[in-house]
A and B are shown apart, each in its own frame.
Chain A
């Protein structure tokens, strides 16, 4: 068997628990959500499930890479499930970024085979690959496109479980890093994580599509997770590592809860635009309440699980006092305010605001309620009894943390210590919601320069227009050059320059476009990106129609001319066939006209070559 190696590692149990509950709920929920194309959905859904579980048993990074690439491949049809243009764009983006991350990890693994020599370079390569999978800024751009467009059960597990696999890879990677590089590594990771946190939450505040907002929150919460990991890398901070592990588990639970709740909203209203949907609370009180539990979890409200992990991470952040850490702490606080604001804003907008009419309550949906109930119970339970985490964490971590987990129980010492900052966050959040809704602050957009999606779009369009044009021109030049040489060498009687010119003309692709013609503003047009990725060729929609003719279409005159020229070859193989007398006649006619030219050409070429050989041999 291929050298895949499996083991039950230190973190296996933890990640399996993290994975199983969201998956169970999503599968349960999907029975009432997925009504058509079930075969396609469930095949790849369950294949993804299998790989998602298997990957946590991998022993080394090669097995990890193998399974992760397969997982990205099998989760592709989930994203392109609805065949709309946004789905096609998102799925191609997802495919490309998965491939890129796989290649980065692959390159890093190859470099690792050389022993110690390329440790730094390979670690950087593998980290970039894993960060693409995790959704860290600036590699996150596939996430807010792919996660919203997938059907809700798929979004739930994509955001809940699959981005944690990158985190798993990073945990496995850290022991390999050489100790002198480790601190720098941690600091760079810290900077990336705080930018991710802040950027994610800022974008989340400005979204109107609820699922896209949740996807940006996934980016932001991954920033939290990476923050803890970076603190662990810098100073072996156990609070940091366990904080990020616990936050990973918490995020899996409340994010999948949120996505499935939004899925229920979609089933009721057919839309997830939070400004258009109103009054869900009066339609379906039970699901609305379970929805609220998810909101409370992600915002870090005491008694729910988000509070536990955020408190641990905050503790870890306080350990050092350098400038970087102070900035990190401020951003931590701002992100918490932003998370609170955007989540409660969404909850309010979707569930209430129906002052005029009282909606009829909807039919209870057993699948949805039970799936949401499981996750909500977990959210509440882990918030009230954080000691349970100790049983999932690896033994050494569990023992070190158990004291702090005990103190984080409701009304424990650490619990009460965190309350003041929580009250500050909630007051600031409530003010921001009221202020923002009144002034329309939430309808602004982030400037294009900061959004990596448009960096990618710009580079992509430039590379289509300029780069491919250049390559085509060079290839054309080579073909023309060889045609010229062969004609000079005596082939001018055997090669028809008209045919060659025809071939070259249809081969030529006229790219008369420059970026200026498209217009810089058009580059930032989503519709253009959708059109570009819909087609097969990069830039297909930009090409004028006459270029898309088939490369091999000739008119009859040239065909007959050519078949005369080469009918001696036809003669060799078909004159024995009595049905092709015309070919034989053509050949005889041809020989009468051109026979002398042919023979002289052959003789000239032979003489030149023989003379050339003799000269060379004499010279040598």
Chain B
């Protein structure tokens, strides 16, 4: 119990601390954020080791009940969130060094708030809690987006706010319907069969799904993403693309497994429509990214495509598919984090965001560009890196879904084909940037190595390669995380 209380109170204390620090000590603020992220990581691990599956309820009055449960699924997603936050906050010490003190303070306070709400979202044990912190996350991430306060930033932020508020309202409507049918919004393994049999199932399903996918970035409600993520400062983009959009996908996973129930959803038309939509997103995100010239816009459209992968995995409804979705969520947060952080370093070193002007950057700043290269190659799907594992798991998940009978043959063939085609499309826009950076220009002057920027990128790269070579840790933890949710006694392995 104590660990839970620490988890609730510690970030708020840190926010207070940071708010009280005078403006002169800019660096101290960022260091405090990094410290908090590490402390939260330790707390989460303690939570897992000593308080597994304990629930704590803070408020209970009528339909509103704030309760949290520390099951393995929550802990593993939160652990990756805090790892990403550690990287990003160490990086932001160097990146935001030259800004005004008030902006740095604001950035760090809201960054902590972001992490706080995301961890509480992941730990939530019913939909109401999930929703409440979902809305708070909206405001916290909005502040990160408009950090630069330029007109374009405000435009992008306004668009983001508009979309997310509508999404939140749809979500609320779904929750109201759920509560009115079953009287509770608690997550229960195996789901509630009454929900899938009721006459409001389609409305509920689509309200929830559209609400979550506006946050996640599924076609056609993805258009806020390529405006919001590039305009934010790079450490914030890493957080946004890494974890904030994943709250939508985690919401869908929780929804499908613990509110509707995997077995109850099989064979419904709505799931198949969602599957086709996610396949189209996989293709569409990469296809639009091919012609983009702004480096961060390319990465933002790539995020759209990867969300398509995750939603495809979930809507396949097979254990391996959902496993693939979870591993992809976790892996992609690290990979996209490294990509955005190195893109930020590129932009601040050269002052260029146009990818046609980055010739020879790899020769001038090899460490950072090596991080970029490794994560770009991972996105394309080369073995040795973690995305190979996730793509394999998703593919085998499609086969398993066919054998379970939840999808038809043509859908399975289409999903495997789109999986492969999107690899080609990823290569078409990532490979030229990588090749151009290493093989085109000359590397006469080298840029100074800023270790605060390089260290997170290198550790992230090491994680990508580590999970690519020895994925058993990741896969086993994910299998153990998902098996109580479905529930499934023996979870199949992808290999």
Contact = CB atoms under 8 A, between A and B. Distances in A.
A496 to B, nearest CB: 8
Nearest to A481: B220
B290 interface: yes
B307 to A, nearest CB: 16
A539 B220 CA distance: 26
A574 B102 contact: yes
Given A99-B423, A499-B155, A569-B146, 16 more contacts: A66-B388, A69-B383, A95-B435, A103-B424, A106-B420, A107-B420, A468-B287, A478-B223, A535-B432, A540-B356, A554-B151, A562-B155, A563-B149, A563-B154, A579-B100, A613-B173
Nearest to B433: A536
8 contacts: A65-B383, A95-B431, A110-B392, A111-B399, A495-B155, A503-B152, A538-B428, A616-B173
Contacts of B149: 563, 570
A472 B301 CA distance: 13
A559 B439 contact: no
Contacts of B495: 3, 62
A563 B435 contact: no
B424 A114 contact: no
Rank and list the top 7 A-B pairs by shortest CB-CB distance, nearest first: A562-B151, A110-B395, A66-B383, A536-B432, A577-B102, A3-B495, A103-B420
A70 B291 contact: no
Contact of A499 (B151, B354, B356, B420): B151
Interface residues of A, number: 72
Contact of B143 (A77, A550, A573): A573
Contacts, number: 159
Given A92-B431, A573-B106, A538 B290 contact: yes
Contact of A91 (B291, B395, B435): B435
Interface of A: 1-3, 62, 65-66, 69-70, 73, 77, 80, 83, 88, 91-92, 95-96, 99-100, 102-104, 106-107, 110-111, 113-114, 468, 471-472, 475, 478-479, 482, 486, 491, 494-496, 499-500, 503, 509, 535-540, 548, 550-552, 554, 558-559, 562-563, 565-566, 569-570, 573-574, 576-577, 579, 609, 613, 616, 620
A99 B154 CA distance: 41
A54 to B, nearest CB: 13
Contact of A537 (B150, B159, B356, B427): B356
Interface string B392-435: 10011011001100000000000011011001100110011101
Contacts of A80: 435, 439
B291 A537 contact: yes
Nearest to A537: B291
Interface in B280-300: 284, 287-288, 290-291, 293-294, 297
B130 to A, nearest CB: 20
A1 B473 CA distance: 10
B449 interface: no
A228 to B, nearest CB: 30
A73 B382 contact: yes
Contact of A472 (B159, B288, B470): B288
A555 B72 CA distance: 52
B15 to A, nearest CB: 15
Given A99-B427, A535-B356, A550 B151 contact: no
A563 B439 CA distance: 43
A345 B141 CA distance: 71
B416 A550 contact: no
A558 B435 contact: no
Interface of B: 100, 102, 106, 143, 146, 149-152, 154-155, 158-159, 162, 169, 173, 200, 220, 223, 227, 231, 284, 287-288, 290-291, 293-294, 297, 353-356, 377, 380-384, 388, 391-392, 395-396, 398-399, 402-403, 416-417, 419-420, 423-424, 427-428, 431-433, 435-436, 439-440, 468-471, 495
B223 A609 contact: no
Given A110-B416, A113-B399, A2 B471 contact: yes
A65 to B, nearest CB: 7
A80 B440 CA distance: 10
Contacts of A579: 100
Nearest to A80: B439
B151 A558 contact: yes
A2 B435 contact: no
Contact of B291 (A107, A472, A482): A472
Contacts of A538: 290-291, 428
Given A468-B291, A562-B151, A536 B223 contact: no
A576 B102 contact: yes
Contacts of B297: 551
Contacts of B424: 96, 99-100, 103
A238 to B, nearest CB: 35
A103 B423 contact: yes
Question: Which of A91, A573, A579 has the largest number of chain B CB atoms within 10 A?
Answer: A573
B78 to A, nearest CB: 26
Contact of A609 (B151, B169, B439): B169
Given A114-B402, A537-B293, A552 B152 contact: yes
B384 A70 contact: yes
A70 B395 CA distance: 20
A318 to B, nearest CB: 41
Nearest to B359: A536
Contacts of B380: 99
A290 B376 CA distance: 45
Contacts of A468: 287, 290-291
Q: Which of B169, B231, B435 has the most CB of A within 10 A?
A: B435
Contacts of A570: 149
Contacts of A566: 151, 154, 158
Contacts of A100: 424
Contacts of B402: 114
Given A92-B431, A110-B395, A562-B151, A66 B384 contact: yes
Given A91-B435, A110-B396, A550 B354 contact: yes
B435 A503 contact: no
Most chain B Cβ neighbours within 10 Å, of A2, A66, A509, A570? A2
B356 A536 contact: yes
A468 B155 CA distance: 27
A551 B383 contact: no
A482 B214 CA distance: 13
A95 B220 CA distance: 32
A62 to B, nearest CB: 8
Nearest to B110: A573
